[in-house]
């Protein structure tokens, strides 16, 4: 009986101790719970207004559409889809044979220009000799005409002889004028002087420019990467015929940035140069430090093909979004690579002065300065 009573006493004591512990635990929870909630709420209140964020953000990159500057048949494709290339790497090659023929043709024309110059100089000399001869003939006929006129005045010769002399002078004068025109033409073809150098002739300059154009077209037969990047989706194969400006493949640059589309009401305190933090959906938990690089001069709707016409019809106010560009300090680390089009979350630190605590401290400081100034 004593043993049983002893056991009951021990059980009652344990129950009382357990009840006391539960009561103390409940008191702690009643105190710590509201305190934790108050601390969290206080933190968010104190820091509210300092940070602005959006999940409407995406990784962006420059994209170049590779297109040939000449038309031709593709004979070689040196890259494949999703291949990384460096600036100057060969992408594809267009058949150079027709272009080489054009270069050879223009080279031959330049060589012919030298022969043409020599021929023009010979023509000039010949025209000069013909002009001198025709002028001598004209002077002779004019002297003969003068003598016949004197004889006709004395009645020694017939009128027909005088008429023939007049006709000879007119014919000689016409020959002289034709030879003078031929000489002038020869001088013009030589650039105004018989000793004009070859490289000063207009015909030679035209041929030289055409040769440079042909060489430029030949160099464009090899299409090379204009920037460092990665080849996008492409279907180019040897045997395809490309025209000037026809899209052959996209090239996405390695340098990337993030574009966040913020509500206009969230940009009150956002300025260029403020620090930001970026989290990409592909790599949860990984944060990229960034900086506000620029803010768009207009909302995204202003750049649409058909912008909203708010002055017509029924109007409903819609909060607009303004694109903000962020420069990332390090775009790849620990094997994590940012690619264009990835979704991201962006948070901008506008500065503690924009939080309630910062406004309160700045207000208190300004009041103190005013009091001291008084």
72-91: burial string, b at 16+ Cβ within 10 Å, e else: bebeebebeeeeebeeeeeb
Q: Global pTM?
A: 0.63
Q: 75: closest CA among 56, 60, 102, 97?
A: 97
Position 194 pLDDT exceeds 80: no
Q: 261: closest CA among 213, 205, 180, 320?
A: 320
* pLDDT attached to residue 11: 59
Q: Determine whether domain 68-95+221-246 maps to CATH 2.40.50.100.
A: yes
The tens digit of pLDDT for each residue in 142-154 reads 888 788 777 777 7
Q: CA separation (Å) from 119 to 122, 126, 270, 364?
A: 5, 10, 77, 97
For domain 99-216, the CATH class is: mainly alpha
Q: 177: closest CA among 188, 169, 189?
A: 169
The tens digit of pLDDT for each residue in 224-277 reads 999 999 999 999 999 999 999 999 999 999 889 999 999 999 998 899 999 999
What's the rounded mean pLDDT across residues 36-49? 59
Dihedral sign of CA atoms 163, 169, 172, 177 in order: negative
Same fold, 50-64+251-304+317-374 and 68-95+221-246: no
Q: CA separation (Å) from 130 to 141, 182, 233?
A: 16, 9, 73
Position 141 pLDDT exceeds 60: yes
Q: Which fold has domain 50-64+251-304+317-374?
A: Elongation Factor Tu (Ef-tu); domain 3 (2.40.30)
Exposed (0-12), middle (13-18) or buried (19+): which is 234, by Cβ within 10 Å?
buried
What's the rounded mean pLDDT across residues 61-89? 94
What's the rounded mean pLDDT across residues 168-176? 83
* pLDDT attached to residue 24: 65
Q: What whole-number distance in Å separates Cα of residue 225 and Cα of residue 83?
A: 12
* pLDDT attached to residue 161: 75
pLDDT band at 84 (very low <50, low <70, confident <90, very high): very high
Whether the CB-CB separation of 230 and 82 falls below 8 Å is answered with: yes
In the chain, what are the domain boundaries?
50-64+251-304+317-374, 68-95+221-246, 99-216
Tell me the β-bridge partners of 85.
Answer: 229
């Amino acid at each position: 009986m004593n043993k049983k009573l002893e056991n009951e006493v021990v059980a009652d004591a344990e129950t009382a101790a357990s009840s006391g512990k539960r009561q103390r635990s409940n008191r702690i929870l009643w105190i710590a719970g509201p305190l934790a909630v108050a601390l969290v709420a206080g933190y968010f209140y104190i820091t509210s207004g300092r940070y602005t964020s959006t999940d409407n953000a995406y990784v962006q990159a420059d994209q170049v559409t590779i297109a040939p500057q000449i038309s031709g048949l593709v004979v070689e494709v040196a890259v494949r889809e999703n291949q990384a290339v460096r600036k100057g790497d060969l992408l594809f090659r267009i058949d150079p044979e027709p272009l080489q023929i054009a270069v050879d043709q223009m080279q031959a024309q330049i060589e012919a220009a030298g022969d043409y110059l020599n021929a023009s100089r010979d023509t000039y000399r010949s025209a000069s000799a013909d002009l001198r001869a025709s002028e001598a003939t004209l002077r002779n006929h004019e002297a003969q005409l003068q003598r016949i006129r004197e004889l006709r005045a004395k009645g020694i010769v017939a009128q027909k002889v005088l008429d023939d002399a007049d006709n000879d002078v007119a014919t000689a004068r016409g020959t002289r004028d034709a030879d003078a025109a031929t000489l002038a033409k020869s001088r013009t073809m030589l650039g105004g002087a018989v000793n004009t150098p070859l490289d000063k002739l207009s015909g030679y300059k035209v041929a030289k420019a055409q040769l440079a154009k042909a060489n430029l077209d030949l160099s464009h037969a090899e299409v090379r990467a204009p920037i460092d990047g990665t080849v996008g989706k492409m279907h180019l194969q040897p045997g395809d015929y490309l025209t000037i400006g026809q899209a052959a493949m996209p090239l996405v640059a390695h340098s990337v940035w993030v574009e966040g589309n913020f509500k206009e009401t969230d940009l009150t305190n956002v300025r260029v140069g403020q620090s930001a933090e970026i989290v990409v959906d592909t790599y949860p938990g990984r944060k990229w430090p960034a900086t506000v690089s620029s803010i768009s001069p207009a909302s995204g709707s202003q750049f649409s093909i058909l912008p909203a016409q708010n002055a017509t019809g029924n109007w409903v106010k819609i909060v607009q979004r303004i694109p903000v560009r962020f420069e990332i300090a390090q775009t790849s680390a620990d094997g994590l690579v940012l690619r264009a089009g990835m979704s991201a979350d962006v948070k901008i630190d506008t500065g503690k002065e924009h939080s309630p605590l910062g406004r309160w401290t700045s207000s208190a400081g300004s009041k103190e300065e005013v009091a001291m100034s008084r």
